[in-house]
Amino acid sequence: MSEYIHTKDIENLDIYFTNKILPISQGMQSDNYKLGTLQNIKIQEVKGILSSKILRAQELNIDGVIEVVEPIEILNMDSIKLCRCQGIILDNATEEALQCEDPTLRVALIKREGTVLIVTTNSCRPNGPELYKIYEKGFSTKGKNRCLGLSNLKEIVSQCSNVTLDTYIKDGLFVQELEIFE
């Protein structure tokens, strides 16, 4: 759109805005739309935990989006373990996002060659704690003896021989990639 403004092409800008931008932005306004692709997850318990956690984030005014482009029918991971992992990841992501000016939370389930990747990203503070610290038992940004969450996450993943976890901070985003091998 800025291209049309650039060239002062008001006529085309008008057409472009009315035909393309308006309908999209109206659709985008509804948070439900951002959850629409949940229907592609065919595993009820996984769908449940993702929808409830994202809805909660949306209620807290976080821009929560879920992307599932292809149907996900099988995940080769014990579903209780998987739900615990995703629960911890999403709770943690929501808490951190809330401390940001422009809070976002985004989850994607992506089929790849021989694996399914679950990516969770959230906005994070530019000078948060060192990554290794948040994995220490009993570490919490809210004081001592709380939040065993992320250390539990690591422990659960370490029990699964076909699941790997990749955690990193990049460009203001905290990213958790849980990769499940078939």
Partner 1 sequence: MLEIFICEDDVEQRKRLTKYIEDYIMIENLDMKVVVSTANSNDVIDYLKNNQVTGLYFLDVDLQEEQSGIALGAEIRQYDNRGAIVFVTTHSELTYLTFTYKVEAMDYITKDKFTDIQKRVIDCIDTANMRYLQSKHNNKKIFQTKSGDKIISIDYSDILFFETSPQLHKIILHAKNRQVEFYGKLKDIIEMDSRFYRCHNSYVVNKDNIADVDMKDREIRMNNGQICYASSRFLKGLKDIVQH
Tell me which residues touch partner 1 (CB under 8 A): 1-3, 6, 20-21, 24, 28, 33-34, 37, 65, 67, 69, 106, 108, 110, 112-115, 117, 119, 121, 130-132, 135, 157-161, 164-170, 179, 181
| Least Å from the CB of residue 132 to partner 1 | 4
Q: Which is nearer to partner 1, 87 or 135 (CB)?
A: 135
CB 2, min distance to partner 1, A: 6
Q: φ, ψ for residue 14 (rounded to 5)?
A: -60, -50
Q: Which is nearer to partner 1, 8 or 170 (CB)?
A: 170
Distance CA 124, CA 26 (A): 28
CB 40 within 8 A of CB 72: yes
- 146 near 93, Cβ under 8 Å? no
The set of long-range contacts for 7-15, using a CB threshold of 8 Å and a minimum separation of 24, is none
Instruction: Indicate the residue among 113 and 143 with the shorter CB distance to partner 1.
Output: 113
For 155, phi then psi, to 5°, come to -65, -40
**Alpha carbons 140 and 149: distance in angstroms, whole number:** 9
CA atoms within 13 A on the CB side of 100: 22
Give the shortest CB-169-to-partner 1 separation in angstroms.
Answer: 5
Nearer to partner 1, 5 or 80 (CB): 5
* Least gap, CB of 8 to partner 1 (angstroms): 13
User: What is the C-alpha to C-alpha distance for residues 94 and 57, in angstroms, rounded to an integer?
Assistant: 6
Question: Closest distance between partner 1 and the C-beta of residue 13, in Å?
Answer: 12
Q: Closer CB to partner 1, residue 119 or residue 148?
A: 119
